[in-house]
Structure 1
């Protein structure tokens, strides 16, 4: 994803903020964890949220709540593939068609496109 954003939109990351989950953080040496090794290789600083403080990672926590409300709660999935397909369809909707209050009613796609255009204009 980081490389895709860089290649497609010219976005360069200086640092990434994540929680302390095992998918992001090594318990021993950072270079031994695939995510942390990638960040080291790309020269991106890895910052962590404070443990047990969901407000420091509020946007991600809010997304999980929205996902739970819109997709997961009350739904029975036949198998992992069914869940993955539903999740994929929802993410397409969420990013391309669903207006977001925090983005003044824009979709994330429209918001990102406007920022990319502004960044490109500033670089010329």
Structure 2
């Protein structure tokens, strides 16, 4: 199956600066109307970070959602981006959220024994947020 057979239009291809892509590769893509966008110079982790985000988005959102049209897909992606940056814990930064301060540690044994957790569903229940009730 070719890209033309799917009916979608590819505008860009993002790739790294590896030598395994000859100039002919870029020429063929340019003839097909696809612009090649190169990743940054001396940024070996740039691809890895974006691949991790795409994989997480796909597993947690796109594999569980049937998008009706482009507008619905963009809405779901905006909601997921907010969830990812504002609520979802990240193991690499001490289970904190990127756009929120670290939560205060709970040291009181009475408070630990009686945790009151509330769940809020996003995107019709595809994503779940859990918070301590005030």
TM-score by length of 2: 0.44
More strand by percentage: 2
Q: Which has the larger radius of gyration?
A: 2
Normalized per residue, the structure richer in helix is: 1
TM normalised by structure 1 equals: 0.47
